[in-house]
Structure 1
Amino acid sequence: MIELKKVTKKFDTGKAVLTAVDQVDLSIADGEIFGIIGYSGAGKSTLIRLLNGLEKPTSGTVEINGKVITSIKGGELRKARQKVSMIFQHFNLLWSRTVKENIEFPLEIAGVSKAQRGKRVQELIELVGLSGRENAYPSELSGGQKQRVGIARALANDPEVLLCDEATSALDPETTDAILDLLVDINKRLGLTIVLITHEMHVIRKICHRVAVMEGGRVVELGDVLNVFQSPKEEITKRFVAQVTDSGDSQETIKNLRELYPTGELVKLVFVGEQTEQPILTKLIRSHSVEVNIVQGNISHTQRGAYGTLILQLKGSPGEMEEALAFLHSEDVQTEVMHND
């Protein structure tokens, strides 16, 4: 569906040449919800603009649905862009137009008849949950309702790809979750490919199938969201994962836990998928002569399954402790004895 090969984008500021995107290779599958996460300046906003042809790469190619966006021009490019829609952080609605008229706008530009426009707009209003608000103006809507209008407008021309540029950053947590649920529903109903950029790992965790982590214009980590949560490799990825897992493995946290639980060993367990539903601790307590105290833990849910972390205080003889850890390994549970560096 989407293929980026050795894509680089440089900007000449007059004083220096800034490399915003640096040798990026990405493949995004048809119907996938793909997340791109990074802090400010990582290059993610530039990357998403390369996907819809708003920016041309300095080198490399961008291919969408078999069309090399980087090599087409004029009418062919405009036609290709109609299949790649975008929603924005600040909604970008026309304030002098009603909800209905905002959604209708891209259909007017495309030359769709009035009768067809009316039918399509009503379908989209129902799809995004705005029935009864057709004649309201943007100033009369909440932030979440404005974003629903933006989503409906982006879907007007039946795109194959929906780009989301920090689409929930201006919303409160409850509204953010509602908009993310809507995007998942749209993805399932329409088979739409969704590419979103964000600096919030909660967004990635909740709806994405795969994620690319960007830093300094490069993709430094790429993979299935569940795998990235389970085994983040780069320090930046670990910081993002910690936003939502609160896994308790920072040195400060370990020090505090050690002060609270000075005896025995602190052991971090990682459960993935079906493991989160298994009575592994019950088995451990029943079959091994170790004292088990649950210190802290949580479970996060992703589109690919659940991911959980648990920190235990284990007490016992060295032999008993070794057997207990071996048992956990035999149950395919990741274990790590937590030490202060």
Structure 2
Amino acid sequence: MIKLNNIKKSYHSKKGAVEALSGIDLDIKQGEIFGIIGYSGAGKSTLIRLINMLETPTAGSLIVDGKEMSSLSKNKLREARKDIGMIFQHFNLLWSRTVKGNISFPLEVAGVKKAERKKRVQELIKIVGLEGRENAYPSQLSGGQKQRVGIARALANNPKVLLCDEATSALDPKTTNAILDLLVDINKKLGLTIVMITHEMHVVKKICHKVAVLDKGQIVEEGNVLDVFQQPKMAITKEFVKQVTQNDEAEEAVDFVKQAHPSGTIVKLSFKGDSANRPVVNELFQQQLVEINILEGNISQTQNGAFGTLTLLIDGATHEVKRAIDFIENQGVGVEVIQDAAQLIS
């Protein structure tokens, strides 16, 4: 659905050319929810503005739904943009219009007849859950309701692609989750391709199928969300993954146990997919001649399946501890030895 080949974007400044994006390659399939995550200044907003041609690339090829966007005439580009909806961090609503008026606006611009507009607006109000708020103005709405209006407006012309530029950054956690649930529902019901620009790994974890990590204008890591969570390769990706997998209190507890039990072996288990639902620890208790204490753990759901971690303190004879670790690995569970007093791993 969206294909970027060697996309570059440079800006001119008094000090010379500034390269915002350098050699971006992405292939986003139809119906995917694709996350692009990076810190401020990484080039995320520039990238999403390129996809709907609010910015033009300095070099490279940009194809959306089979159309090379940069080669289209103004009229054809205007038509192609109807297939691309966009929602924003700060909603960008028309404050002098009601909910109905805001949703109707892109239909008016497109020249849709009044009766058809009215019908479509009511459909969209139902889709985004704003029944009863049709005649309210933006100043009378909560942040979540405003974003629902923004989503409905973006869907007005039945787009094939929905671009979300930090769409939940201005919302509280509970409202963020509600909006993300709505986007997942829309993705499933309408088959929309959704591109999520964000700096929050929670957003990626909750709704994205795939993720690309953007740093200093370059894609430094990309893959299925579950794979990236389990085995992040780059330092910046590990930082993002820690946003949703690291518990400071749990880390402090592990550090305390390290000092209190210097002769014990501490291992961190990583579960993915089917292995997250297996009673591995229970089997370990039953089959291995070691003492086991659970120090901390968590499990998260992604669109690709479950992902979890569990930290254990294992005490026992060296060869029994080694056997226990081998048993865990043979169950398809990742093992990271945090403290190895017996130097089991060379």
TM more than 0.5: yes
Aligned to 1:85: 85
SS at match of 1:338: strand
Structure 1 unaligned spans of 5+: none
- What residue identity is the alignment partner of 1:214? L
TM-superposed deviation, 1:334: 0.6
Please give the secondary structure, in 2, of the residue aligned with 1:145. helix
Secondary structure of the structure 1 residue equivalent to 2:188 = helix
Across the aligned residues of Structure 1 and Structure 2, the Cα RMSD in angstroms comes to 1.6
Structure 1 runs of 4+ off > 3 angstroms?
250-257, 260-263
Aligned counterpart, 1:312: 312
SS in 2 for 1:182: helix
**Do 1:254 and 1:339's aligned partners in 2 also have CA atoms closer than 8 Å?**
no
Alignment match, 1:179: 179
Q: How does 1:1-341 map to 2 (within 5 A)?
A: 1-246=1-246, 255-339=255-339
Q: Is the 8 A contact 1:247 1:297 kept in 2?
A: no
Amino acid in structure 1 at the alignment position of 2:163 = L
Cα distance in structure 1, aligned partners of 2:136 and 2:315 = 64
Query: In the TM superposition, what is the alpha-carbon distance from 1:133 to its structure 2 partner?
Result: 0.4
CA distance in 2, matches of 1:256, 1:43: 41
Aligned counterparts of 2:167 and 2:246: Cα–Cα separation in 1? 24
In structure 2, what is the Cα distance between the partners aligned to 1:73 and 1:133? 40
Report how far residue 61 of structure 1 moved. Answer: 0.8
Aligned partners of 2:260 and 2:228: how far apart in 1?
30
**TM-superposed deviation, 1:87:** 0.2
Deviation at 1:262, TM superposition (A): 3.2
Distance in 2 (alpha carbons) for counterparts of 1:82 and 1:266: 55
User: In the alignment, is the contact (CA less than 8 A) between 1:201 and 1:241 conserved in 2?
Assistant: yes
Deviation at residue 209 of structure 1 after TM alignment: 0.1
CA contact (8 A) 2:288 2:320 kept: yes
When normalised by structure 1's length, the TM-score is 0.97
Instruction: Give TM-score, length-normalised by structure 2.
Output: 0.96
Distance 2:307 2:253 in 1: 20
1:119-148 deviation per Cα after TM superposition (whole angstroms, max 9, x unaligned): 000000000000010000000000000000
Q: Following TM superposition, by how much is the alpha carbon of 1:15 offset from its aligned partner in structure 2, in angstroms? A: 1.5
Deviations 1:164-221 (Å, cap 9, x if unpaired)? 0000000000000000000000000000000010000000000000000010100000
Tell me the alpha carbon deviations over residues 14-44 of structure 1, each in whole angstroms, 9 at most, x when there is no partner: 2231111110100000000000000001111
Q: Is this contact kept in 2: 1:162–1:192, CA < 8 A? A: yes
Distance 2:129 2:193 in 1: 21
8 Å CA contact 2:32–2:192 kept in 1: the answer is yes
Paired with 1:226 and 1:330, the residues of 2 have a C-alpha distance of: 20
How many residues align? The count is: 340
Contact 2:254 2:295 in 1 (8 A): no
Alpha-carbon distance in 1 for matches of 2:6, 2:335: 38
Alpha-carbon distance change, 247 to 228 in structure 1, aligned in 2, over 3 angstroms:
farther
Give 1:263 shift.
3.3
Q: By how many angstroms is 1:254 displaced? A: 5.6
Indicate if the aligned counterparts of 2:253 and 2:295 stay in contact, CA closer than 8 A: no
Rate the CA distance shift 1:217–1:251 in 2: closer, same or farther, 3 A: farther
Sequence identity percentage: 60
Contact kept in structure 2, 1:180 and 1:206, CA below 8 Å: yes
What secondary structure, in the 3-state scheme, does the structure 1 residue paired with 2:103 have?
A: helix
Q: Secondary structure at the match of 1:204?
A: helix
Please state whether the residue corresponding to 1:111 is helix, strand or coil.
coil
Whether the 8 Å contact between 1:269 and 1:335 is mirrored in structure 2 is: yes
CA contact (8 A) 1:95 1:137 kept: yes
Distance in 2 between residues matched to 1:149 and 1:255, nearest whole Å? 47
5+ unaligned residues in a row in structure 2: which ranges?
341-346
